[in-house]
Amino acid sequence: MSNIINKQIEFAGKTLSLETGELALRAPVSVKATYGETVLLVTVTHSKPKDEIDYLDLRIEYREKYYASGTINSSRFVKREGRPTDDATISRRVIDHAFRPLFPKDFNLSVQIVVTVLSLDDHADAEFLALVATSAALHASKLPVVGPVGSVRVGFIQGKHILCPSRHELHEVSDIEMMVSFVSDEKRFLAVEAGMNVIPEETVLESINFARDNVDPLIGLIKDFASEVNSTNEVVEYSKKADNPELIQLLTSEYKENIKNIVFDTSSDSHELIGNIKEDALSKYSEEYNKNDILNILSGFEKKAIRQLVLENNIRIDNRTLDQIRDLIGADINTAYATQTKFLNYQFKNMLSDIREAEKKLEVA
C-alpha cells in the first residue's frame, strides 16, 4: 500500500474529500472523491508521445455501476451494465467541454480519463463531484494542463440561489439547473451548462456570479491536494511543435491576401475557392514541407479573415448580419407509403420527417 493522501473540506453542508494512494495504484493518478454518500473514482492515464498525430487524443468515460444505487438488474441473462445511459453520455460531454481547451494545442499524447461512480446519493450530485475529482486528478498529474478548475452546481429556488441542490430540488423545484466552471486563482470563466425555466437574464448572470463567489474553497482544496501528490511539479515531456517561420512567410506572401479577399467576398463560394488554394499549396510544397503544417497555416489565415469580417464589417461569412437569422422554410411532401411527411429547409441544413403507419396483416394458416 502506498502513501495515502486525504484532503477534505466542508462545502454546501456536506463533507467533500479527495483521496489517493488506495485504489487504482497502477494508474499515474487516481482520485477517490467523496461528497456526502456519493463516492466515485477518477483515473488519468496517458501514452508516450505520438509524433504521427496532430490533434488532442483525449478520451473520457463516465461509468455508472448498478451497485452504486443499490440496483440489481432483473434480467435473467444479462447481469452487467450495457451501453452508457443518456445521463452518463451527457456527464462525459460536460467533463470534456470543461477540460479539453486546457491542454496545449500541440499536445500529442493519448490521454484517457475514466470516471466510475461507486456510490450514489440523491442528495449529493455525482456530476459535480466528477468535475471536482477530474480537476484534482489532472492538476496533480504530470500533464501540462492549465488549472486548477473549480466547478459549482447552482440552483434557484423561491428566489434564492442554492449551492449543490439535491436531485429532487433540481428537477422538481429549482428554476435553474446550472453547472459553472472557472479556471485558476483568477477564477476566469471557462464553461457553463444550464437548463432553466423562463427567467430574467439578470437572474442568469447573478447565478454565474454566485458560483464565482463560492468556488474558492474548491480551488483551494484542489491546489492543496495536488501540491502534496506532485510536490515536485513534474511535467511529462512531449514533442512540442515549433512553428516553421520560413513556411509561414512563404504561404503568407502567396496566399494570405487571396484567402482574405475570398472570405470578404461573401457572394462567392468561399469553401470551394479556399479548397482550391489548399490543393495548389499542397501540390507545390508538400514534398518540401509537412502536409499538416501547410493546411494548419492556411486554415489559420481563413479563421483570422472570418473573425476580421465579423468584427470589422458586422457580416457573417454567409452574408448575414449579426442580428439576422437564416430563412426557415417548411413544406408537405406526398410520398407513396408515408402517412405524413414534413420537409424543413434551414439554408444549408435540411430535415425530413417521415411518419408511417404499419400495415396490419392477419395471416390464417
Is pLDDT at 60 greater than 70 in this prediction?
A: yes
Lowest mean pLDDT among 69-73, 106-110, 237-241: 69-73
> How many percent of the chain have pLDDT more than 70?
85
Better pLDDT: 265 or 332: 265
User: Grid coordinates representing 61?
Assistant: 468515460
> How many percent of the chain have pLDDT more than 90?
30
- The reported pLDDT for the residue numbered 361 is 44
Same domain for 150 and 222, yes or no, is: yes
Same domain for 91 and 209, yes or no, is: yes
Question: What is the distance, to the nearest Å, from the Cα of residue 146 to the centroid of all Cα atoms in its chain?
Answer: 15
Q: In this structure, is residue 236 part of a structural domain?
A: no
Residue 269 — very low, low, confident or very high, per pLDDT cuts 50/70/90? confident
Same domain for 146 and 261, yes or no, is: no
Rounded distance between C-alpha atoms, residue 143 and residue 93, angstroms: 20
How many structural domains are present in the chain?
Answer: 3
Q: Which amino acid is at 176?
A: I
User: Grid coordinates representing 162?
Assistant: 442554492
- The reported pLDDT for the residue numbered 73 is 64
Residue 331 — very low, low, confident or very high, per pLDDT cuts 50/70/90? low
Q: In this structure, is residue 81 part of a structural domain?
A: yes
Q: What is the 3-state secondary structure (H, E, C) of the chain?
A: CCCCEEEEEEECCEEEEEEECCCCCCCCEEEEEEECCEEEEEEEEECCCCCCCCCCCEEEEEEECHHHHCCCCCCCCCCCCCCCCHHHHHHHHHHHHHHHHHCCCCCCCCEEEEEEEEECECCECHHHHHHHHHHHHHHHCCCCCCCCEEEEEEEEECCEEEECCCHHHHHHHCCEEEEEEEECCCCEEEEEEEEECCCCHHHHHHHHHHHHHHCHHHHHHHHHHHHHHCCCCCCCCCCCCCCCHHHHHHHHHHHHHHHHHHHHCCCCCHHHHHHHHHHHHHHHHCCCCCHHHHHHHHHHHHHHHHHHHHHHHCECCCCCECCCCCCEEEEECCCCCCCEEEEEEECCEEEEEEECCCCCCCCCC
Q: In this structure, is residue 126 part of a structural domain?
A: yes
Same domain for 28 and 101, yes or no, is: yes
Same domain for 89 and 208, yes or no, is: yes
Q: In this structure, is residue 256 part of a structural domain?
A: yes
Rounded distance between C-alpha atoms, residue 308 and residue 140, angstroms: 39
- The reported pLDDT for the residue numbered 33 is 92
Q: What is the number of other CB atoms lying within 10 angstroms of the CB of residue 33? A: 26
Contact 159, 145 (CB under 8 A): no
Question: What is the distance, to the nearest Å, from the Cα of residue 352 to the centroid of all Cα atoms in its chain?
Answer: 29
- The reported pLDDT for the residue numbered 55 is 79
The mean pLDDT value for 198-210 works out to 92
Same domain for 15 and 161, yes or no, is: yes
Contact 162, 156 (CB under 8 A): yes
Q: In this structure, is residue 238 part of a structural domain?
A: no
Question: Residue 167 maps to which CATH number?
Answer: 3.30.230.70
Residue 359 — very low, low, confident or very high, per pLDDT cuts 50/70/90? very low
Range(s) of the domain holding residue 363: 325-365
- The reported pLDDT for the residue numbered 344 is 54
Same domain for 215 and 122, yes or no, is: yes
Q: In this structure, is residue 234 part of a structural domain?
A: no
> Which residues are bridge partners to 115 per DSSP?
42, 62
| pLDDT tens digits for range 81-138 | 677 788 889 899 999 999 999 998 888 888 999 999 988 888 888 899 999 999 999 9
Rounded distance between C-alpha atoms, residue 365 and residue 7, angstroms: 73
Same domain for 207 and 336, yes or no, is: no
Residue 76 — very low, low, confident or very high, per pLDDT cuts 50/70/90? low
Q: In this structure, is residue 190 part of a structural domain?
A: yes
Residue 358 — very low, low, confident or very high, per pLDDT cuts 50/70/90? very low
Same domain for 189 and 338, yes or no, is: no
Q: In this structure, is residue 150 part of a structural domain?
A: yes
Is pLDDT at 52 greater than 80 in this prediction?
A: no
Better pLDDT: 51 or 90: 90
The pTM of this model reads 0.76
Residue 351 — very low, low, confident or very high, per pLDDT cuts 50/70/90? low
The mean pLDDT value for 151-176 works out to 89
Same domain for 224 and 294, yes or no, is: no
Is pLDDT at 296 greater than 60 in this prediction?
A: yes
Better pLDDT: 243 or 36: 36
Return the residue matching grid coordinates 449579426. 322
